Amino acid sequence: MAAYNRPTEATYTVHENVTVDTSDNEDHTFCGIMFPIKCKDLLPLDHIVIKSVAVRGALGPLTVWVSNEDGGNGRNQVQLDPRHWTKLYEKTHKYSKHSYVELVFDQPIRMRPGQVKCLYIHSTLPNDEAIVYDNSYYGMSSKRYDDEKLTIMTGRAHVSPEIFGQNPIWGWGNAWRDRREFVGRLEYGTVYRLWNPQVQTKFGGNFQDCARVLSLCQRRWESPFSMLPDECIYYILNMCRWDWFEDDCDTMKQRRQREKKRIREKEQQESEQREAESEAVGPEAVATNVAAEEHTATGCNRHSMDTDDDGGDDEEFVDDDEEEDEEEEDEEDDVDSEAAWSDDEDQYHNAPIQSFTFQNIDSDEEEANDDDSDNEMETARNAWVRRNFARIQVLRALAAMEDGEQRPRTASCSTPFKVALLLLVGTVAVGLVLSGGYL
């Protein structure tokens, strides 16, 4: 019976063509662009399928790659090595600087909600006009494009004609440029999740209310629904799309906020319970437990030492050179992850970078806190003006005095008057700072 074998995902795919419209000044073209894509966990999605990408430029021999894992075991980091990537496309294209050329993947990219994958588009054309991209300035959002299903984030440009190459086209320095933006189109399809009792919390508030109402009606003998078994009610809800009961992105965001609130309350209750249990246990019992743990650890260490002495075959020795190599690799990875999103300018003279570290942001929380972020930036800007107002005015006065001394003295002021004017400007500036005023 169909009611007992309900599907968990839709058998159809909703196709959407996403165009990333940007303030493209066409001031950046080079060999490649690498950027992260995140499948959002807002709507009840089963997965999305990315089928093609479109770019423009001089093009030439193009290849498209996708990262194998989700940012390297949760570190939001992908190694810049072909072994950690899968090639999706390879073909040579003609010059197309003003119109997009679609690159249809041999194997579509399938992404689950919450998953992040990096896309790498590269051309081996031996010049700096292969692929058009844009620049991302400091203070801008890390989101290049954002909708209710996916987010395209700030990426990194590649200035080497070699795939994953570490040598730029001019032969020295760093081959990667941070804070660069994807310019083009992305086509993807959406496969929605179907309702089942175990995924009730993933649907909107209106859908959940209707599911509860149907269940309540089925329990009333005067209702026609009372003649239907539970499986039939489940089957009816399973055939309804997630937005059948007028749920939208706003209701889904409210649902997610309630879910996060429940999780926080549960964690708080567990922490309070642990604290209460620790306070209930007396200090003598705690000391006894600590002594017992130390005794157990000592016994285990003694047993392991005896075991090593008895059987020499169990011991493994590692050469010092191998240990040093592993330590150097770990240090390189740490340096790359720390420097990838620094506030300094691009260090083009640095050694080659071995990994791509990106920011895995929560787009929904960022949208909810946009106003707060703007207020914080405005407050910080005003505080900076208050701190530096006096210094700026003094420097301006000194510069004006220097300019006046260099000009021909036709009607110049006397030196005592200049000193008095400078003291007056400094006094006024200090007074404004102390009173909290600013320009």
- Domain boundaries in the chain? 8-192, 197-280, 369-435
CA dihedral 407, 410, 411, 416 (to 10 degrees): 60
Q: What Å distances lie between residue 35 and 60, 120, 178, 256, CA to CA?
A: 20, 7, 10, 27
pTM over 0.75: no
Q: Give phi and psi for 75, each to the nearest 5.
A: -90, 0
CB 354 within 8 A of CB 333: yes
DSSP codes, 175-218: SEEEEEEE-EEEEEEEEEBPP-GGGGGGS-HHHHHHHHHHHHHH
- Cα dihedral sign, 229-235-238-240: negative
pLDDT in tens, the chain (439 residues): 566 667 776 766 676 656 655 555 566 889 999 999 999 988 999 999 999 999 999 999 999 999 997 654 567 888 899 999 999 999 999 999 889 999 999 999 999 998 999 999 999 999 889 999 988 765 566 677 888 888 998 899 999 999 999 888 888 888 998 889 899 999 898 889 999 999 998 898 899 999 999 999 999 999 988 899 999 999 999 999 899 998 888 888 888 888 888 888 999 898 888 888 877 765 555 556 656 666 665 555 544 444 444 444 444 444 545 445 544 554 444 444 444 443 334 444 455 578 888 777 664 554 444 445 555 555 656 666 666 666 666 677 777 766 665 555 444 455 556 666 666 666 666 565 555 554 4
Helix axis angle, 205-219 to 230-238, nearest 10°? 160
Q: Helix or strand or coil: residue 102?
A: strand
What is the DSSP pairing of strand 96-111 with strand 143-146? unpaired
**DSSP assigned state of 138:** T
Q: Which helix (H) or strand (E) holds 420?
A: helix 415-435
Residues 438/389, Cβ–Cβ less than 8 Å: yes
Q: Rounded to an integer, what distance in angstroms lies between the CA atom of residue 28 and that of residue 31?
A: 10
Rg from Cα positions in the chain: 31
For residues 33 and 121, is the Cβ–Cβ distance under 8 A? yes
Name the fold adopted by 8-192.
Jelly Rolls (2.60.120)
Q: What token pair was written down for 298? A: 């000592």
Side-chain-side CA neighbours of 418 within 13 Å: the count stands at 14
